[in-house]
Amino acid sequence: MDILYEVYIFLLAVFVGFEVISKVPVVLHTPLMSGTNAIHGIVMLGGMLVLAEAHEPLSVWLSFAAVVLGAANLFGGFVVTDRMLEMFKAKKSSGKK
């Protein structure tokens, strides 16, 4: 019965996350992603802790999926932040006049 609660909480988190993100204006997506990298790191750490304590196969697979998706989100956020910061760097001038 515990596994049903875990699946239920997982599905609720997916729906709540989708609803929250869908309400964010498009202009704020990049700054929001760069600002939440620390939260994604905490989510990934929590997923690793749950994975370490998982004993049932379904719990192991769900925890593993949470860690993989959290890692992809975390590292993707760093890539987007790096691209965003590249836009603000001064352009290198060529030696030609």
Q: Both tokens of residue 74?
A: 């975390």
The CA-atom distances, in angstroms, between 48 and each of 3, 38, 45, 90 are: 17, 15, 5, 40
Is the whole-model pTM more than 0.75?
A: no
Please check whether residue 20 lies inside any domain of the structure.
no
pLDDT for 64-95, tens place per residue?
998 998 888 888 878 877 887 787 777 776 66
Count up the domains in the chain and report the number. 1
Residue 60 lies in a domain: yes
Q: What is the pLDDT of residues 34-57, one digit of tens each?
A: 667 777 788 888 889 988 998 999
**Burial label, 54 (beta-carbon count in 10 A; 0-12, 13-18, 19+):** middle
Question: Has residue 63 been placed in a domain?
Answer: yes
Q: Kindly state the helix (H) or strand (E) to which residue 49 belongs, with its residue range.
A: helix 37-53
Q: Given this model, what pLDDT does residue 52 score?
A: 92
Asked whether residue 97 carries a pLDDT value surpassing 60, the answer given is: no
How far apart, in whole angstroms, are the C-alpha atoms of residue 18 and residue 12?
Answer: 10
Residue 46 domain-assigned?
yes
Does the pLDDT at position 30 exceed 70? no
In this predicted structure, the answer to whether residue 12 has a pLDDT above a threshold of 90 is yes
